[in-house]
Amino acid sequence: EKETRIESVDFQVGRTGRITPVANLTPVQLDGTTVSRVTLHNKAFIEELDARVGDVVRLHKSGGIIPEILRVVKEKRTGEEAPIVFPNRCPECKAELVEDGKIHRCPNPLCPAKAFQQLRHWASRRAMDVQGLGDKLIEQLLEKGLVKDAADLYRLGKEDLAGLERMGEKSAENLLAQLEASKGRGLERALYGLGIPQVGEALARTLARRFGTIEKLMEAGEEELEAVPDVGPITAAEIRRALADKRMRDLIRRLQAAGVSFEARQAQAAEQPLAGLTFVLTGELSRPRAEVKEELEALGAKVAGSVSRKTSYVVAGPGAGSKLAKARQLGVPVLDEAGLAALLAERGAAG
């Protein structure tokens, strides 16, 4: 733990419109890194902490990674500390904020801050993977009014890009080629790229496998959604609310008109020979672990991070440690890479 001081507070707007207060701190060394900013989460957290600008606070790293304020050192207050005033209006577009439980959101669909974050998320490697569409370029496209949302990206031509800073003819051609390639990433990537609250990579993949097309997903009721693994009542309601929104439906319609695929690329249920199996990967494998994980998931398997009695197989390479020991203790079958290849061949899943 270390002590430092809150110098000021910024209010950031996320891609869903969520307003997050961030404390700017007097820089301090903590577990090998310099920490100068830390999230204050929401208005309720600030009130519970009774934090003020100028306060001395005690920090630690949650899980050894994420800086977090533990408490305010109130005995060091001087009387000059100032209250942290949560805004009533969006810091970017000045729209009146709405409260959603502990969260404050900007409801304006055209808020510039939301647009930037949404475009950044859509183009990210794990979503549509549009290489070359970085922060500076997104800022320029928004400032010049060339795009307002993801669908507008697919209307860009060479002439639109020609006047942008550091955008030569070759760079423009490469970006347009990346955008064209992104159209075929499939429902799972597009669904994640839309930034629906509660829908991360894994759930986007699960929903794509379950429903196959965006149309079937949009038709699904909350009861049908709750039947999907890892979807509870809150997540089901969020998905329904997001996909019923007229602005979201219009965005999807325009993306489809531009040629973006909203059909699942993953094998459908009948073509998932590993459906119902749970794997754990450990040790050094001949391919990147993320690649093996993606291949297994595409064939219907679940890949977990820890071994339990529900684990079907542990795939172990050289240097496997505690996970291998746990598998042996629980009697979970252990495969090397050759054994995994044999299992895939046996189930008709060999590539």
pLDDT for 348 equals 74
Report whether pLDDT(26) > 60.
Answer: yes
Cβ atoms of 37 and 23 within 8 Å: the answer is yes
**Using alpha carbons only, what angle is made at residue 238 by residues 237 and 242, rounded to the nearest 5 degrees?**
115
Pinpoint the residues of the chain covered by CATH 1.10.150.20: 112-182, 187-257
Among 34-38, 264-268, 272-276, which stretch is predicted with the lowest mean pLDDT? Answer: 264-268
Does domain 112-182 bear CATH number 1.10.150.20? yes
Domain with CATH 3.40.50.10190 in the chain: 270-346
* CATH placement of domain 187-257: 1.10.150.20
Which percentage of the chain shows pLDDT scores above 70? 96
When pLDDT is cut at 50, 70 and 90, the band that residue 110 belongs to is: low
Record the pTM: 0.62
Specify which of 32-41, 156-165, 199-208, 254-263 reaches the highest per-range mean pLDDT.
254-263
Q: Say if CB 47 and CB 35 are below 8 A apart.
A: no
- Please report, for residues 58, 100, 262, the alpha-carbon distance to residue 314 in angstroms, rounded to integers and kept in the order given: 42, 42, 33
* pLDDT over 70 at 109, yes or no: no
Tokens found for residue 102: 């502990």
83-103 confidence digits (pLDDT tens) = 999 999 999 889 899 888 889
Q: Who has greater pLDDT, 198 or 239?
A: 239
CB neighbours of residue 193 within 10 Å: 25
pLDDT band at 162 (very low <50, low <70, confident <90, very high): confident
Q: Where in the chain is the domain with CATH 2.40.50.140?
A: 2-83
Q: What is the mean pLDDT of the chain?
A: 90
What H or E segment, with its residue span, contains residue 188? helix 187-193
Question: At a CB cut-off of 8 Å and minimum separation 6, what does 250 contact?
Answer: none
Q: How far apart are CA 342 and CA 257, in angstroms?
A: 43
Cα separation, 186 vs 203, in Å, equals 14
Report the CATH architecture of 2-83: Beta Barrel (2.40)
Q: Which residue has the higher pLDDT, 125 or 256?
A: 256
In tens, the pLDDT along 318-347 reads 988 899 999 999 999 999 999 999 998 887
Identify the band that residue 268 occupies on the pLDDT scale cut at 50, 70 and 90: very low
Quick one: which of 249, 245, 325 has its CA closest to 280?
A: 325
Q: Has residue 294 got a pLDDT over 90?
A: no
Mean pLDDT of 280-296: 87
**Where do we find the tokens 């986007």?**
204
135 half-sphere exposure, CB direction, 13 A CA radius: 2
Q: Are 19 and 93 in contact (CB under 8 A)?
A: no
What is residue 291's predicted lDDT score, i.e. its pLDDT? 80
pLDDT of residue 27: 95
How high is the pLDDT of residue 245?
86
Residue 267, pLDDT score: 46
CA angle at residue 85 from 82 to 91, to 5 degrees? 130
172 three-class SS: helix
**How distant, in Å, are the alpha carbons of 152, 264, 342 from that of 337?**
45, 28, 9
CA atoms within 13 A on the CB side of 247: 11
Within 8 A by CB and 6+ apart from 263, the residues are 186, 187, 212, 213, 214
d(CA 215, CA 254): 14
pLDDT, residue 269, reads 46
Question: Tokens 């993606």 label which residue?
Answer: 294
Answer whether residue 12 shows pLDDT above 50: yes
Q: What is the dotted CATH code of the domain comprising 270-346?
A: 3.40.50.10190
